[in-house]
Amino acid sequence: MGDCPMCAAQMIPKCGPRVVHHWAHKGRRNCDPWWENETDWHRGWKELFPEDCREISHVADDGEIHRADIKTPTGIVIEIQHSTMTDAERLSRETFYRNLVWILDGSTFKSNFELCHLLPDPTSELAMDIVWFKAKMGMLGTTSGTFYRRSENEPNATMVLVHSFQDIQDEIKRSWRGHRQYAWVRPRSNWLDATCPVYIDFGDEFLAKLEEYGESRLPCVRMVSKKKFVHDAMTEQHAAAIATRFYPINQE
């Protein structure tokens, strides 16, 4: 006999001739089916929050137990995800918790993800005049930033005057609010389809929040400091409000 590391329920050994030997719950309703083995990265995130915010149990209508990685005093649930996940499981968690935000371990796909050039504040006049070419990994012109101006070209023009990021970089930096274009080879599309906010942790002091930019809905990320994320998660009422009261980031 043994105890489950997640729910402390009694477990029994399964040592049959066909299936790899393993432990199983003596009963099926005591443990969270969404549970995954924790990594040091996973535990590190939990330790950023008070102990009474960690591993908070919820009971579904069918009696199944789910434990949120983190639930803040304001009711925001934070799920810290290292492994891959099916669309069905992602959607089931989003439906169950509702006021949910995801944090993904970006180290598992970092080599396929490139943070590209800065983007101006999407509400600025500059942003309204610019159309960016979508960044593609390996195409230096797009990852470093190329665009054309609406004001310089006729609508639906087949040829446009192209500019580079360097032409307006000082103007962009003065009004930057954290947005950057990105290139993602073989993206994990289930996260692009998420109905709750998704933040990627690449191991530094900032998180990259998946967003769409302006009227063109260009895929972008918005850089948010981990310190601000934790502060807002503990004080805001809704997951979508995290990092909306935005303070400029110092790029020095």
pLDDT of 215 > 70? The answer is: yes
- Cβ count near 185 (within 10 Å): 12
* Cα–Cα dist 153/159, whole Å: 8
Tokens matching residue 3: 């105890």
What's the Rg (C-alpha) of the chain?
A: 22
pLDDT digits (tens, 9 = 90+) for 70-94: 999 999 999 999 988 899 999 999 9
Q: How many residues does the chain have?
A: 252
pLDDT band at 169 (very low <50, low <70, confident <90, very high): very high
* Global confidence as pTM: 0.82
Instruction: Report the range out of 3-7, 10-14, 26-30 with the highest average pLDDT.
Output: 10-14
Q: Most distant CA pair in the chain: distance in Å?
A: 75
pLDDT band at 43 (very low <50, low <70, confident <90, very high): very high
Mean pLDDT throughout 210-231?
A: 95
pLDDT of 18 > 80? The answer is: no
* Cα–Cα dist 201/239, whole Å: 17
Give the dihedral sign, CA 212/208/67/14.
positive
Q: Who wins on pLDDT, 24 or 107?
A: 107
Share of the chain above pLDDT 70, in %: 82
pLDDT of 96 > 70? The answer is: yes
Helix residue ranges per DSSP H, the chain: 40-46, 87-97, 125-129, 140-144, 169-175, 189-192, 226-235
- Cβ count near 190 (within 10 Å): 16
pLDDT of residue 20: 45
Tell which residue, 35, 36, 12, 7, has the closest CA to residue 25: 12
* Cα–Cα dist 36/25, whole Å: 15
